[in-house]
Amino acid sequence: MLTPRIEIDLEKIAHNAKVLKDLYGSRGIDVIGVTKVVCGNPDVAKALVKSGISILADSRIENIRKMRNAGVQAQFLLLRTPCLSQAKAVVKYADISLNTELSVIERLSEYAIDYDSPHKIILMVELGDLREGLMPSDLDNTIKHVLDLEYIELIGIGTNLACFGGVKPDDEKMGYLSATANDVENKYGLTLEFVSGGNSANYNWFMSTKDVGRINNLRLGESIYLGCETLYRQPIPGLYTDAMTLVSEVIESKMKPSVPYGEVCQDAFGNIPEFKDQGQIRRAILGVGLQDVLVSGLTPRLDIEIIGASSDHIIVDAKNIDVNVGNEVEFDLNYGALLSAMTSLYVNKVSSDQLNAQEYCEMVEQKYRKHMQDLPTISIKEDHSPLISLNESGFNLIFEPSIIKDYKYMVREAVFDKIGRISKRLENEDKTLIIRSAWRSFEHQRLLWEERVDSLKKEYPKKQIEEIEELVSYFIAPPSKSMHSTGGAVDALIYDLKNDCVMRFGTNDGLKMNLNDKCYPYHPYITPEAKNNRKLLIGLFEEEDFAVDIKEYWHFDYGNVSWAIETGKEHAIYGRVAHTSNGTGLPGGFLY
């Protein structure tokens, strides 16, 4: 996958949102989902709505417009006091806005009249944090004027604490806001729909208070995305704290001194750095920096230490961790780091819609079971075409090293010609086809099977052999059942000559493959880059009448029984081949 990136686990965010909605709802407090830290990400917004949140709040009208255009079905609240210059857009895109300035509300009224669209407002009251809010002594006069404005509907009052001044929401503050709400209603004959007591910082007050008073609304962001309250950043029981992950890539890993040598002056940001002398250390450099993220807000998930950062690099002491170039390193983020990373144009945002992914994987598994049931029913009319070595073809190909010494990468004659044409098309795009594997003998398949079994035994020492073999069978066929034994199966990837690397397909690190359900060809939780690369690879082979494997985007079948099932052919033309070397490249026998 592309790096640096933010991985957004939508299922965990949806879980946190639902738990918090139920928790606060148990005492009559509704939740507004704040989307500003995720920059109005439509996938996140839809996850919040699915969790039962009906109002979304953002401080940027651009983000609200983005969510509306993406079809998010919710009411939208502008979280920041509107700019005079944006009043028209606020009336057009926001259903509700928080307000403190009478001149702004008057401008909102003018545009609401023009659009014939009433606009709802919540007046914010200053209770000590000294960010936005009317001074309590000015509230009465403001309300009188607001009630005279056409097309403006006063639906609530609110306050904001612990954002700028760090002032704690407590019984005194919430009691004052409740009393203010009662006074407003009694004096002006209103029924306030919202008495909005604050944000994620209100968790400790809520858990300790005996009476929530008139508070019936909170605006939550950080506790939904990071699973913590915001006064002391303690985890909230039952919530995920790892729904957001920053992933960066190692671009250098070397033994170097722990202290710079030479005369030390200011660094790139005007600081004079200080370092502790630890002798030689493993210094790894990551391809992400201060231009991408607030580095001080990152916590590595590995036992490594951030030494410092420049605009484009983070330097870490890898300690005893073996980190190599190309490895990915994961970080937890605090609110500031998350805000900066989500705002950065240089950080890719990848959403894991596990609900869609789960449905897709279940569909794949169901199709695979049906496929396996159908295999014995397909007849084979063997055409007896020979096996030919791609290794000796002269085609522009790259060959992945094999577990078998002097492996010839043999395929049937028709497959040989098809690979030649695919190779030529890629050559015109400055790319090269990588052949990972082709025809395999039973012995070859057995070695692959046993190698994977041994690997998983070490990884899962407590699992029974039956469980291990079931895991292996997800991506490696038993020796007697592999389509590679027909000479009609090819495993392939693509090398990008311009960028001098194996293209990224979502589960590969170069030629190394991470075997999991993201290997399913059309898995939704992969980057746009990986999706485009898979589209290219699969398209090239499908143009030559290959069928992509149900579970492996790199595996392609032609002529065998899997191909016949997937392409709707009446019969297969290739059976299994037991090859014996006779110097001619001809199959030594056929097994049906």
Which tokens sit at 87? 């009043």
Q: String of b and e for 171-188 (b: at least 16 CB within 10 Å)?
A: eebbebbbebbeebeeee
Tokens representing 537 are: 């690879």
Catalytic pick among 12, 36, 66, 408: 36
Residues 64/86, Cβ–Cβ less than 8 Å: no
Which residues are bridge partners to 218 per DSSP?
A: 31
* CB contact at 8 A, 221 and 200: yes
From the list 503, 547, 482, the residue with the least C-alpha distance to 521 is 547
Helix axes 528-543, 413-427, angle to 10 degrees: 130
Nearest to 230 by CA among 212, 208, 205: 205
Distance CA 411, CA 395 (A): 14
CB atoms within 10 A of CB 393: 17
Contact 470, 452 (CB under 8 A): no
The two three-digit tokens of residue 540, written as one number: 């090239």
Of 415, 422, 547, 555, residue with least CA distance to 488: 415
For residue 260, give both structure tokens. Answer: 């710079």
Instruction: Tally Cβ neighbours within 10 Å of residue 240.
Output: 19
What gap in Å lies between CA 165 and CA 322, rounded to an integer? Answer: 43
168 is a catalytic site residue: no
CA atoms of 146 and 118, how far apart (whole Å): 13
Both structure tokens of 569: 């052919």
Which residues make beta-bridge pairs with 418? none
Report the catalytic residues: 36
